[in-house]
Chain A
Amino acid sequence: MTKTLLSLSGISKQFDGKTVLDELSLTIDDGEFITLLGPSGCGKTTLLRMMAGFEHPDEGTVTLSGVDITQTPPEHRPLNTVFQNYALFPHMSVFDNVAYGLKMEKRPKAEIAERVEEALAMVQLEDFARRKPHQLSGGQQQRVAIARAVVKRPKMLLLDEPLSALDYKLRRTMQVELKRLQRELGITFVFVTHDQEEALSMSDRIVVLKDGYIQQLGTPREVYERPANVFTARFVGQTNFFPGRVTKIEGERISVDVFGLNRELSKPSFRVAVNQSLHVLLRPEDIRVLAPDDIEGVAGKIVERNYKGSTLDSVIELEDGSHVMASEFFDEDDPTFDYSIGERVRVSWVDGWEWLLAEEGDEPLTDEEELAADDAEH
C-alpha cells in the first residue's frame, strides 16, 4: 500500500504576467522515484522550486505528510535539494559542506563527524573530506552535493537536472549510482530532467510537462508505449506517425486503413467513428523491413542508413512520399546486414503493436514540416 508523501493541488504561478503553471495537481508517493520531464520552459523547475520552498504558488496548496507547507520557508521543510550547478560552498572543505546542514540543526560534534563520514562513504569520497570544492572534478562535486543533501535524512530529495553538466559516460555512471542510493536510502526522489532517455531508465513514474500542464503521468512503459497525446509521443523517443482511417467498428475491434493496408485493432479509449482519420503510431523498433518481393507491407526505398553499433537505423521513403523510421537489431544469423541507399524494400510491422491517437486541433509540426517552414521563411 503506497502512501502519499507530498501533494500539490491547484498550483498556479505567473512570472511577469506569463503563466508558468496552471492549476496543476500532483501527488507523490512515499519512496518512489518520480521524474518531471519536459522541454525548457515547461514549468518543471518552477514546480521543483515550489516543493523546496524557493518559490511560492500564486494559488493552490502544497501538503507534506498531510501538513500544509505552502508558505513554509525552505529552512523549515524536511526536504533537501541537489542543485543543477551543485551550489557547493566554495569557502568550505568537503567535510564542512556536508556538515553544514547538521551544524544548523545544532547536532553534537561527534554525531556530525560520524554522519558526515557515513554520507561521504556512501558517495565514495571518504578520502576527499579535507579538499575544497575547486579541487574536485565535476563528478566529485556532484557527489558532494548529493552527500550534503542526504546527510540530513530528508523525507524527499529534490534533484534539479543534477547530471546535465556531466559528460555522457559520467552521466550513465551517476544514473546507476543515484538509483542505488535511492534504493539504499529509501528516500523519495523527485528528479527534474529534459532528457527523456534518463527519465525512462531511472523513474518509477514520469510526469510529462508542457506549458505548465501535465501532459501525461505514468510509468516509463506507459509513457513510451501508450503516449497520451501527440506531444508526449513526439517528445519521448522517436515515433512514426502514419495516417489512418477507420473503416469498420465491430464491438471492441475496429478496422483501420493505413497505406492501403487493412489492420484489425482494439478500439482505443477515445471515441471513434467510421471514416474518421486518426494517427497510427509505431516506434522505429516496431517496424519490420522486408524483401521487395514479400507479399506483405508497403513498397518503398531506403533513403538513409545510420550504423548505430547495436542497431541499424534507416529511413524508408514510401511511394506516397512519406518517410518511415526503422531501427533493427543485428542478429546472429546475419551480423553484417546492411542497406544501400535506393535499395527497394517493403515496410511492415508486427500486428497489434500500433498505438492509436486522435488527431488534435493544434498539433505541433513534425521536425520535417518545421524545417520546411523555416526554409520557406528564409
Chain B
Amino acid sequence: MMRSIKQQPFRAAVLVLVWGWLLFLVLAPNMLVVGASVMTRNPSTFISLPLNLEAYRQLFNPLYLDVFLHSLYMAALTTLICLLIGYPFAWALSRVEKNRQMLLIFLLIVPFWTNSLVRTYALKLILATNGLLNSALMSLGVIDEPAQLLYTEGAVIVGLVYLLLPFMILPLYSVFEDLRQDVLLASHDLGAGRLATFKNVVVPLTLPGVLAGVMLVLLPAMGLFFVPDILGGSRNLLVGNVIKNQFLDARNWPFGAAASIVLTLTMALLMFAHRLSKRRLGEEGA
C-alpha cells in the first residue's frame, strides 16, 4: 500500500491520541485503583503504605458478602427480566417493516436524552405512596388504600429494568437483524417444529446478542448506586452503593478500590465468555 507523506502526520496524530487516551484515561486510573486497593487506610491522607491485602480480606466479611450477594441477586433478576422482555421485543422489532423499525428504535433511544437521575426521580413520583400509580389503582378500585411501592426491592428492580432495558434490546436487535429467514425455513423444511427450531437454530444464533445484552445490563445493574438511593431505602444496597459509601462516607479507599476491582474482573470474565461464544459461531478468523 502506498502512503503519501501528507497522510503520515495525521496517522501519527490519531495513534498518539488513541494510545494517549487509553494510557492516561483508562490504564492509569485503573492502575491507581489497583494501587489503592493494596494500600492501608489512613484517615488523613486516605491511603498510605504499607502494602497489604487487608482490603481484599475485608471483602469476605459476611456483612459485605451479604451485600454483594444481594446486589448480585437483584442485578441477575434485573437482567433476567430485561432478557424476558427484550428478547421477544427485539425479535418483533427485527420483523417490522423497515421504515417503522427506524421510528421504533428512535423511540427506544429518546429516553437517553434525559439524564437517568432525572428519570429515576420521575419514577419515584409514579411509585410514591400518593403517586400516580397508587392513585390510578385506587380510582380503579383495585386497592382501597395506597400500597407501599417505594423503598422496596421491587422498586429498585423496576428502576433498574427501566434504565437498562434498551441496553438489552439493542444488541439483541442486531443479532435478530442478522438472523436469516431462510435458515429458519430450512429448519422447518427438515422437519423441525417451532419449538425445535427455536431451541436448535434461533437460540444458538442469537446467543452472542444475549451475552452482549447480559454484559451491558448485569454489570451496570450492580453499580447504579443512585437507583437504590432514590427508590430503595437503606436495605436494598448495590455493590455500587458500597463502593460509593467507602469512598465518600466511610473514607475507606482501599476497600472501595478492592470492591471496584472485583466488579471489573467480573466484567472481564463475562467479556471472555462472550468472545468464546462468538468464536464458536465462526465469526472470527475464517
Contact = CB atoms under 8 A, between A and B. Distances in A.
- Most A CB contacts (10 A, CB to CB) among B185, B187, B189 go to B189
Contacts of B192: 75, 100, 104
Interface stretch (B42-50, B82-90, B200-208, B217-225): B200-208
Nearest to A133: B282
A95 to B, nearest CB: 14
A89 B281 contact: no
Interface stretch (A79-87, A245-253, A284-292, A356-364): A79-87
Contact of A87 (B183, B191, B281): B183
B141 interface: no
User: What is the interface residue range for chain A against chain B?
Assistant: 20 to 34
A52 B189 CA distance: 7
B286 interface: yes
Contact of A75 (B180, B189, B200): B189
A73 B282 contact: no
User: What is the interface residue range for chain B against chain A?
Assistant: 20 to 34
Contacts of B235: none
A290 B183 CA distance: 57
A149 B185 CA distance: 13
B45 to A, nearest CB: 55
B204 A91 contact: yes
Contact of A101 (B182, B191, B280, B282): B191
B190 interface: yes
Interface string A79-118: 1110111011111000000001100110000000000000
Contact of A54 (B183, B185, B205, B281): B185
B282 A132 contact: yes
A134 interface: yes
B193 interface: yes
A87 B190 contact: no
A91 B280 contact: yes
Given A89-B183, A134-B282, A135-B286, A74 B200 contact: no
B286 A85 contact: no
B187 A80 contact: no
A62 B282 CA distance: 40
B186 interface: yes
A305 to B, nearest CB: 44
Interface of A: 52-54, 73-76, 79-81, 83-85, 87-91, 100-101, 104-105, 132-135, 148-149, 152
Interface of B: 180, 182-183, 185-193, 196, 200-201, 204-205, 280-282, 286
Given A104-B190, A149-B190, 18 more contacts: A53-B188, A53-B189, A73-B188, A74-B189, A75-B188, A75-B193, A80-B189, A80-B190, A81-B189, A83-B185, A88-B183, A89-B183, A89-B187, A90-B205, A90-B282, A91-B282, A135-B282, A152-B191
